[in-house]
Amino acid sequence: MAADIAPGTETIASVLIRQARTRTTHPLLICDAERLSYEDAERRSALLARGLITLGVGKGSHVGVLYPNGADFVIGMLATTRIGAVAVPFTTFATARELGEQLAHADVTVLLAARSYRSHDYVGRLTEALGVREFTPSRPLFIARAPQLRHIVFDQHEVANLADGVDDDLLCALQDDVDGSDPLAIVYTSGSTDVPKGAVHTHASVLGHQRNLNEIRGLDADDRLFCNSPFFWVGGLAFGLLATLVAGATLVCSNAVDAGATLDLLETERPTLTNGFAAAVAHLARHHSFPGRDLSSMRRGNLYPIMPADVRPADPDRRHNMLGMTEAGGTFLLHADESDQPETRRGSFGRPAPGFETRVVDPDTGAAVEHGTVGELLIRGPHLMQRYHRRSREECFDPDGWFHTGDNVRVDEDGYVYYLGRRGAMIKTAGANVSPVEVEKAIARVTGGTVAHVVGLPDLERGEIVAAVLVDHHVDPSALRDLLAPELSAFKLPRRVATVTVTEVPLLSSGKVDLRRLREVFDG
């Protein structure tokens, strides 16, 4: 950390300006054909920030950012936050209804958005959501459905062209007025089990947390990080983009539909570290050209399907996993050791990151449970969200400052944490609790990697039964119970099995599996 920036006072502006001075032409982002250097990121975001000021954006304003991974997202987020405005990422999966609801709930005053992405027409969806047909940055909006919204911008250049009305002195004054304790972003949860909520995070809490995580995973200025997590989720925003910015490293990402194009990018740019969703790169490993690719640069990380054979684990459950959540500013359980663990540590999610305290309690009594006993995970510390937008801290934390995660875990005597699924997702069959995650991992293990989604189905005799949906399977469903019998207790074995293709898996707008609709594959 630079000597002139004290711990806990870092802001996006202070980090960005320092990196632009020291890293200059070094690439911050490589996304398919796009390349964005540190000095270009600082210059372009300053220009856009001055244009936003002309539109009335200032400290505390809420600015929506609706883009796929790429330079437009990076510039929009940096421009917003460097002047003390609060970035509100929008998922690219959002429907018209979801766009309208988040614009209103998040009190967005300006929305920076792509016109479209793949099959998603955002102009059409915003027209449907807001009842407005003309979006002109120079003409303010007044809409009952989103009372705070004044501008929707589909071309950043239109706003950057307004920058002449704001001089550098005003930009510097606004940047200097931002403190590490000021809000940086409102990141919405997926809403997979509840209405989406906006977690409010500050500059210093997020940047300090990523600095700690970079030290654990060894991300430094010489690294190139390949991350396939969307920037609008906290994993891509914090553990990907902001972690890269803090380290002065390079972030590599791809929006290519063609797996061969993504593999070309990886061969050319040679990332050294990978992080993200392993299942989302499995199609790369199935591409016909994959066996002949040179991906030897990727020596660390968790995107195992595409990593070199000599660093790829034979059994991923013998490697420490990671656990993160929106409210925690991303990953908060992890471990620096990327070697195979002893069998007794199978399924470990590592230990709490610096700055996080944890407790495991009986959710009914609130009493702490013994080592090895399943309970609800509670966390607290300086890197947690401040609160949910529009809710008080008292509504978000208990009187002792603990956040109740809703995650079922157990902790062994050495302090390693084992994630067993969401409390609401546990299957209650004949009086016994079954973790869907445990069954899904067992299916992957005995079938050589088949992706499965495990749910509970109503049953008159047992209350619920365990059911499994196999995705693009290569195993006989009728043989699954026999394969699993040595791995799982009898009450955990799936009593019903269905199969789907990857395109048939129903998704929420967040990209997570819609478990309610998934159960419909068993109807009839």
- Report the percentage of the chain scoring pLDDT > 90: 77
Measure Cα distances from 458 to 104, 137, 462 in Å: 37, 52, 8
* C-alpha to C-alpha distance for 246 and 241, rounded to whole angstroms: 9
Mean pLDDT (whole number) for 262-288: 94
40-202 belongs to CATH 3.40.50.2000: no
Mean pLDDT (whole number) for 296-321: 94
CATH 2.30.38.10 region(s) of the chain? 323-423
* C-alpha to C-alpha distance for 105 and 372, rounded to whole angstroms: 41
Dihedral sign of CA atoms 131, 137, 138, 140 in order: positive
**Three-state SS for 474?**
coil
Residue type, 381: G
pLDDT, one tens digit per residue, over 385-414 is 999 999 999 999 999 999 999 999 999 999
Structure-token pair, residue 356:
């996080």
CB 277 within 8 A of CB 271: no
Specify the CATH superfamily of domain 426-522: ANL, C-terminal domain (3.30.300.30)
323-423 belongs to CATH 2.30.38.10: yes
Provide the pLDDT for residue 1.
38
pLDDT, one tens digit per residue, over 446-468 is 988 888 999 999 888 788 899 99
What's the order of all strands across the beta sheet hosting 151-153?
151-153, 110-113, 62-66, 86-89, 183-188, 198-202, 387-388
Provide the pLDDT for residue 502.
87
Distance, C-alpha 188 to centroid of its chain: 10
Confidence of residue 63 (pLDDT cuts 50, 70, 90): very high
pLDDT, one tens digit per residue, over 26-50 is 999 999 999 999 999 999 999 999 9
CATH 3.40.50.12780 region(s) of the chain? 40-202
* C-alpha to C-alpha distance for 229 and 252, rounded to whole angstroms: 11
Dihedral sign of CA atoms 442, 448, 452, 458 in order: negative
* C-alpha to C-alpha distance for 235 and 326, rounded to whole angstroms: 8
Q: Where are the alpha helices (DSSP H) in 83-121?
A: 96-105
Provide the pLDDT for residue 320.
96
Residues linked to residue 427 through DSSP beta bridges, in sequence order: 434
- Beta strand 250-253 with 224-227: parallel, antiparallel or unpaired? parallel
pLDDT, one tens digit per residue, over 146-205 is 999 999 999 999 999 999 999 999 999 999 999 999 999 999 986 545 567 999 999 999
Provide the pLDDT for residue 3.
42
Q: pTM score, two decimals? A: 0.86
CATH 3.30.300.30 region(s) of the chain? 426-522
Q: Which residue has the tokens 């016909």?
A: 288
φ/ψ of 226, rounded to 5, equals: -95, 120
Provide the pLDDT for residue 4.
53
